[in-house]
Chains A and B, each alone.
Chain A
Amino acid sequence: MTRKLAFRTRVCLLLAILAMGIAPIGGPAPLGVGTGRALAAPAPVEVAIGLTALPVSLDPVQDNGLTALATYSLLYDRLIDIDDRGNERPSVATSWRAVNDRTWEFKIRTGVRFHNGEPLDAAAVKFAIDRALTAPQSRFRTTLGPISRVNAPDATTVIVETSEPFAFLPSRLGTRVWFYPPRYFQERDVAGFTAAPVGSGPFRFVSWQRDNFVLLDRHDAYWGGAVQIARIRLRHMPDYNSRLTALEARELHLGYIMDVDDAERLERGGFRTVVQPIGQGFQYFFRTTIASPLRDVRVRQAFNHAVNKDLIARVFFAGKTRVLQGQPVGPDAQGFDADIKPYAFDQRRARQLLAEAGHPDGFALPMDIGIGFAPRAKEVAEMVAGDLRAIGVRTQIQENERGVYLDKLVNARMGPMWELSLNYAPSFDLLPVLNNFICDTLHKSHCDPQFDALYRRWVGSFNEADQKRLGNQALRYVSQQALALFLWQIPGIYVTSPNLQGVRFRGDYTMNLTQATVR
């Protein structure tokens, strides 16, 4: 009897404590101006930005991740900039052209100086490109293209030669190589430079701590015009809840928020969201190179018909996304084809295709997804699995931690159906997309010598009309062959606090803060 009573007391206490915990979360959050005490404090002198990751180093050849671009773009400049729609814009290069099919000429802007006063001339451009291609720390040695030589005949001209015809040189080289003063760099070497980097961008370096913060001050003599914000603190905040609560506690002015529900909640409190569903296409790749029912094109098409992409995208990304139209890229990619007919949601048709392929009762299929790459990956996988179950396909979802996922990817150990968030920012061309369907790719998802031949002709074509035609032909092949379950473009959702204005985002997820002001 006493034990029973004791249990009851404990249960009551537990409930009381739980209720205290729940109550503050359950109610509406008081985000309106004037509720918090800190708001009465004077306007902040610095703008704090929560990123999912800071670069591994401030030496701009050492990190090729998309998140690193955000930091580099504030400190450094590059040959070609990207606007908010993903179009190329002149930056340090005022113009560029192909001299012949293996030679490119870039004209360099005059009068640009680094933060330490050194001139940003053709020699500095050559220095940075050479180092990106050769430095042992460089992550760009293989990704810029088949560059054989870089020359700087005068202060405003850079000539780049390639060992084979490579039509995509400007978009790759132009958006990924950042400039820093050669003399300063050589005096200090890598370690010294990394400790106190110098660029020519709108902000100059003040201090940093690895995987913690980067502090930047306004560069008053920025060649691109006057900058309003005096100081920026970029913070390394990989945890979603941490970024979210820091925004709500007004410790951040700007943060990357992947969750639409939270973004809408913050909007009700006066925050603004900026949505950027570009530069990548989220899909499940099919491997036609290993034994599975997916070797049959009808099965792959059936999958594309079976999944209700519009509904899932609407629910999880609340209309802040674009559904892929029967092709692996969105309309922001150069070479997107609006005339390709998307696979309509039609489960009857899907079942019919499966039956034609000899699987009237469906089959079992493993499905590899990655953890920590795309937001809502698991929810989406479960919804896709549900839709496939409706046509008789029983999927077993296998979650893969980052390292395991990449190991499977580069060593061609993915299952017959696997998740890929296909990035084509910052260059926005089809090259990083169509690369995935040739025999020579690491994940070995598809291999067709005819497609390979088409691909090679396309990469080497300099005639604009030819290039367009061949690229389109290759894209249509991927679409008709249904080499992937084309889903949608995941939005990059940024939230800015009510007192930060004028933030713009480029198509490659970098922030343009030159026009931003803070109250």
Chain B
Amino acid sequence: MLSAAAAGLLGPLLYRVDPDVTSLLDRLRPPLFFGGTIEHPLGTDQLGRDIASRLLRGARISLLVSLSATTISAILGVALGLISGYRRGRIDDVIMRVGDAQLSMPFLVLAISVVAVLGPGLTNLILILGVAGWIQFARIVRAETLTVSHREFVEASRAVGARDGRILFRHVLPNVTASIVVMATFQFAQMIVVESSLSFLGLGVRPPTASWGTMISDGRNYIQVAWWLTTVPGAVIMFVVLGANLFGDWLRDRLDPHLRNLD
């Protein structure tokens, strides 16, 4: 994932092909080794733009949106999930029922009305995606907190008079990290794709700016004449998700008290 981020930042400096230059004569060229040429190593899109340079340029926006939105979801969801699972009772009811209400609503309606009220823009896009994902984290964290907060070590520290905040952060949170990490990698992958589905609300990027999600969705109707339009960015997302998972595994191994001792 770091290499993807580095590619997004440095790539455009090293690989100097303009991602927005169209060339109708060169459209739908396949990648190298599939009948293409070195000139466009990953082929060209429906407007003859170089896919490799669009991937590099799109990396910035896709990673920015997806990472920030996932972080917002995770922070919101983990905090509310911890409170819900630890305190239970009324506050749990309120938090979880708000989540239920949100799960019942089509995401599109929320997005459209947010645009109507707040207006379009990248910040609003990140906010919408971030707020939309919290409940997934919250439910997972709550479930694990429910069980963890009855384990011996939690009961023990409560018995010696530890404050709730300390118990949550020192004892409960480390025990739910593994699930948070798995959920985060899922959300991360989803956000990249979902970003593109909101561009028509003026929320995503505007054409001709490249993002991985829009590259995939624009290639949708070309899937049979030019498979690389969707497959190449799809594969890149998968590589990044793979990287994110490995990073997540590492993070979990560092944070999880049980797994740390295992290796």
Contacts and interface: CB of A to CB of B under 8 A. Distances in A.
* Touch test A–B (CB under 8 Å): yes
Interface of A: 3, 6-7, 10-11, 14, 18, 21-22, 25-26, 29, 240-241, 244-245, 258-259, 261-262, 265, 311-312, 315, 371, 378-379, 381-383, 385-386, 396-401, 403-404
Contacts of B226: 261
Nearest to A26: B227
Interface stretch (B158-166, B174-182, B201-209): B201-209
30 contacts: A7-B242, A7-B246, A11-B242, A14-B238, A18-B231, A21-B231, A22-B231, A25-B224, A25-B231, A29-B224, A240-B221, A241-B224, A259-B222, A261-B28, A262-B224, A265-B225, A378-B207, A379-B47, A381-B207, A382-B47, A382-B207, A386-B208, A396-B206, A397-B207, A397-B208, A399-B200, A399-B206, A401-B200, A401-B201, A404-B112
Interface residues of B, number: 31
Contacts of A382: 22, 47, 207-208
Interface string B210-224: 000000001011111
A315 B223 contact: no
A383 B221 contact: no
Nearest to B200: A399
A14 B239 contact: yes
B26 to A, nearest CB: 11
Given A397-B206, A399-B207, A400-B200, A18 B227 contact: no
Contact of A378 (B201, B218, B231, B242): B218
B117 to A, nearest CB: 14
Contact of A25 (B22, B27, B223, B239): B223
A372 to B, nearest CB: 9
Contacts of A311: 24
Contacts of B222: 259, 261
A392 B235 CA distance: 37
A244 B246 CA distance: 39
Contacts of B200: 371, 399-401, 404
Nearest to A3: B246
Contact of B224 (A244, A398, A400, A403): A244
Given A14-B238, A18-B231, 12 more contacts: A11-B242, A14-B235, A22-B227, A22-B231, A244-B224, A259-B222, A262-B224, A265-B224, A265-B225, A311-B24, A399-B207, A404-B112
B190 interface: no
A241 B220 contact: yes
A215 to B, nearest CB: 29
A81 to B, nearest CB: 33
B34 interface: yes
B199 interface: yes
Interface of B: 22, 24, 27-28, 34, 46-47, 112, 199-202, 206-208, 218, 220-227, 231, 235, 238-239, 242, 246, 250
Contacts of A315: 24, 27
A312 B22 CA distance: 12
Contacts of B46: 379
Contacts of B34: 26
B54 to A, nearest CB: 12
A282 B208 CA distance: 21
B223 A241 contact: yes
Q: Which A-B residue pairs are the 3 nearest by beta carbons? A: A399-B200, A25-B227, A261-B225
A306 to B, nearest CB: 15
Contacts of B22: 382-383, 386
A311 B27 CA distance: 13
Contact of A401 (B112, B207, B231, B242): B112
A417 to B, nearest CB: 15
A400 B200 CA distance: 5
A241 B220 CA distance: 8
A379 B218 CA distance: 9
B208 to A, nearest CB: 5
B206 to A, nearest CB: 6
Contacts of A262: 224-225
A401 B218 CA distance: 15
A18 B235 contact: yes
A208 to B, nearest CB: 27
A3 B239 CA distance: 16
Nearest to B207: A397
Nearest to B242: A10
A381 B220 CA distance: 18
Contacts of B227: 22, 25-26
Contacts of B24: 311-312, 315, 383
Nearest to A398: B202
A403 B206 CA distance: 19
A416 B131 CA distance: 34
Contacts of A403: 112
Nearest to A15: B235
B155 to A, nearest CB: 37
Nearest to A248: B224
A41 to B, nearest CB: 24
A350 B218 CA distance: 31
Contacts of B224: 25, 29, 241, 244-245, 262, 265
A398 B223 contact: no
Nearest to A260: B225
Contacts of A26: 34, 227
Contacts of B242: 7, 10-11, 14
A8 to B, nearest CB: 11
A397 B201 CA distance: 12
Contacts of A241: 220-221, 223-224
Nearest to B245: A10
A382 B225 CA distance: 20
B198 to A, nearest CB: 9
A22 B250 CA distance: 31
A400 B207 CA distance: 12
Nearest to B220: A241
Nearest to A397: B207
Nearest to B49: A382
Nearest to B250: A3
Contacts of B47: 379, 382-383
A261 B46 CA distance: 11
Nearest to B111: A401
A35 B226 CA distance: 23
B130 to A, nearest CB: 22
A43 B200 CA distance: 44
B228 to A, nearest CB: 8
A25 B232 CA distance: 13
